[in-house]
Homo-oligomer: A and B are copies of this chain.
Amino acid sequence: MLPSSILPKPSHKSEPQNNIMVVATQSLETTCINSIRFLAIDAVEKAKSGHPGLPMGAAPMAFTLWDKFLKFNPKNPNWINRDRFVLSAGHGSMLQYALLHLFGYDSVTIEDIKQFRQWGSHTPGHPENFETAGIEVTTGPLGQGICNGVGLAMAEAHMAATFNKPDAALIDHYTYVILGDGCNMEGVSGEACSLAGHLGLGKLIALYDDNHISIDGDTQVSFTEDVGKRFEAYGWQVIVVANGDTDTAAIQTAIEQAKAETTKPTLIKVRTTIGFGSPNKAGTAGVHGAALGTDEIVATRKQLDWPHEPFIIPEDARAHFAKAVTRGAEAEAEWNKLWETYKTKYTEEAARFDRQTNYKLPEGWEKSLPTYSPEDKPLATRQTSEKTLNALAQAIPEFIGGSADLTHSNLTQLKGFADFQKGSYHGRNLRFGVREHGMAAICNGIYLHKTGLIPFCATFLVFVDYLRGALRLSALAETQNIYVLTHDSIALGEDGPTHQPVETIASLRVMPNLLVFRPADGNETSGAYKIAIERRTTSSVMAMTRQALPQLAGSSIDAVARGGYIVDGDLDIPDLIMIATGSEVSLCIEAAKKIRESGKKVRVISMPCVEIFEEQDKAYRDAILPPATKKRLVVEAGSTFGWHKYCGDEGDVLGVDRFGASAPGGILMEKFGFTVENVVAKAKAVLG
């Protein structure tokens, strides 16, 4: 039992606030806020699962934001110029579902709320953009949402700089984020917020639900830093609301002040009580992630003066919330007028805007993809990637991205285009600094702005481990984020095992809804990017070499669309199949020549994308990998894990199942057995 001095005061006893708007009387406002609280309490109780504490504590700030500031049209969740709202503390999902329901979105009915966290419902445990209209980004893994928010604000700034005219602010909206202690403890949020400060994203406004409680209890056990000062150090405006439980006027003033600062993002530190209204659990970790329980719900109803049955919203609150529908329709109608004028006045820009935001690619864009013939000089695939990135940048103006401080190693500079910086948001070269995780999460946000932007981001392949938390959300949230990951094997050489991916590619192939490309030459590079650009709801990894590779006679852009294909050999049933990817394809072609000298029929399969090969029908797969040919050798300078599905019981895999070493790349490849001689020996062993 807590000392009564720290128990929250029941809001119906608090003094009337000096509201400066008249849309709601104090008591109606309280009713609205409690409507949010009790939907959360009752849904979690019914599910016997979920997190009531955050919605109960953050309801005042959320209501104030949605009621007085947020620009949205509930009947068109995709209205392009809406404000973006992100619940970074995604475990508080019932807050967002309650808001969506009460403010009139059709995607969350009262029945959906009763089905919270149940099979097939639109109200999953954490907010999922692909499941529920009105949810902008998928949150739950802490820290991701605020980074997505930075990405959304960057997308807004870029779209505005690209399309807006002095008389027509086509894209002009805010990005609001509610985040908690957990988000602020995660390093990824620090990365993105530091960059947001650097970029001066004045239309990013984050409300920090500062409730001093995390799952383990009081934040005093591990989190005593001065968060506000840290954000000031990042270059943010920081505003404090001392009493976020009842002082909605202060919340309102803070948001106004945040909007008034146009050159910096703003953090509003709102001191709240987790589980506000629960007499025995408020202010404790006990209310964070478990249902309140029958008795405590009765007590909370009493404390908050809430006589209504579960899931019942009082009429006056319903009527007030409903105003958002009219407000939203009017706002969109006004924007539609602006758009009509824009279309007549700025035809060219309007045509692009229309095309891009409807996810149509520019006519003939694919013709820009570079092609190669065997006469062309050997190039590293990071170099052919550079050519392709630059071709795409010319052909597709919505293509935008950059590297985590490895621009000239990853070769990701879009030449002739500006940097995206404070004062030059039209720029398309993003400078992420050494912030891989933040970078990936930001790119998820850029994509999820849903204005057609195609983001790419880059680092060394091995450092995908730093950003995997965000990469998983790229895949789950059905984004189109292109990961340009160079230096893709031990062949990168001297930097040694800390920098050499070994297990990395296999670890990515296991991820659902992610395409992992490892092109063997220039044509395959173009083919890989072609697919990555065409698939608008799938993210891709481009694993690119540091070292030069020859341009193959048998490769083509189109072949990549099959995932795997015969790069050397014919359609006769072979004695031996060799399967390789990337830098090992040319090696296998050389080895095949040797093996053929002994009269064996050898086929070499290049498999730039296993996932796409698996999508092909059985007839194609069997034509490429005839079941009759059991003698198979897979060659890839990475983990052998997963390849037995392809080499089968009688085959073998030449790979790398240990960490690499520091030495020149050519020497390492030799030491690890990636020589024609060793491949031939392995193949002969398989042939028996």
Contacts and interface: CB of A to CB of B under 8 A. Distances in A.
A71 interface: no
Interface string A447-477: 0000000000000001101101101110110
B117 A662 contact: yes
A671 to B, nearest CB: 7
Given A117-B662, A119-B661, A198-B222, A215 B645 contact: no
A502 B512 contact: yes
Contacts of A191: 185-187, 190
Interface string A214-234: 111001011111111110111
Contact of A125 (B47, B494, B507): B494
Interface stretch (A426-434, A572-580, A677-685): A426-434
A2 interface: no
A639 B511 CA distance: 9
Interface residues of A, number: 110
A650 to B, nearest CB: 8
B498 A503 contact: no
Nearest to A419: B221
Of A432, A472, A662, which is in contact with the most chain B CB atoms at under 10 Å from its CB? A662
A50 interface: yes
A639 B197 contact: no
A620 to B, nearest CB: 19
A484 interface: no
Nearest to A502: B512
A216 to B, nearest CB: 5
Interface in A177-192: 181-182, 185-191
A662 B116 CA distance: 9
Contacts of A198: 222-225
Contacts of A407: 215-216
Given A194-B225, A230-B230, A230-B234, A663 B117 contact: yes
A435 interface: yes
Contacts of A667: 119
Given A465-B472, A642-B642, A649-B648, A187 B185 contact: no
Nearest to A662: B124
Contacts of A648: 649
Contacts of A462: 141, 472
Contacts of A466: 141, 186, 188, 468-469
A593 B530 CA distance: 51
A112 interface: no
A501 to B, nearest CB: 10
A432 B222 contact: yes
Contacts of A117: 494, 496, 662-664
A290 to B, nearest CB: 10
A47 B494 contact: yes
B235 A225 contact: yes
**Residue in A214, A228, A642 with the greatest tally of chain B CB atoms within 10 Å:** A642
Contacts of A642: 506, 510, 641-642, 644
Contacts of A493: 49
A216 B50 contact: no
Contacts of A274: none
Contacts of A50: 494
5 tightest Cβ-Cβ pairs between the two chains A and B: A187-B187, A124-B662, A222-B433, A140-B498, A119-B663
